[in-house]
Amino acid sequence: MNTISLTRRQEQISGLIACGMSKKEIADKLLISEHTVDNTLRAVYLKTGYGKINELTGWWISRRFNINIDFNELKKQIIASSMLLLIFFDLSVDPSAIITARRSRRIRNENEIEYVSFIEI
């Protein structure tokens, strides 16, 4: 499918990026510096011609699993809409899937401390 060949390390780092790991997480996992990860990714970007992590991820997945993801614009919109509908359906069925964080802060009003709690979604 593609004639671009990556070194073993480039393939490894590209795969970990495709799995959603950050550069720091990759460096910690492979026991290398974060600068090494940056340099390796820069070389991969040059070889593939992509400049963004999401583009590289799509390329890596399509190459690794031999999937052709070269769709025309209408197909892309239909697929994106279908995925959004699945996500909204999942959230409507299981509302606990929404990640929430509870945080408190203090507000001072004329020698009086009031605790205000709010939820971020």
In 3D, which of 8, 7, 34 has the Cα closest to residue 21? 34
Q: Which residue has the higher pLDDT, 117 or 58?
A: 58
Q: What is the reported pLDDT for 109?
A: 54
pLDDT of residue 101: 47
pLDDT value of residue 112: 53
pTM assigned to the model: 0.55
What integer pLDDT is reported at residue 97 of this predicted model?
A: 53
Tell me the average pLDDT across 55-69.
Answer: 83
The average pLDDT across 6-21 equals: 92
User: Exposure of 13 by Cβ count < 10 A (0-12 exposed, 13-18 middle, 19+ buried)?
Assistant: buried
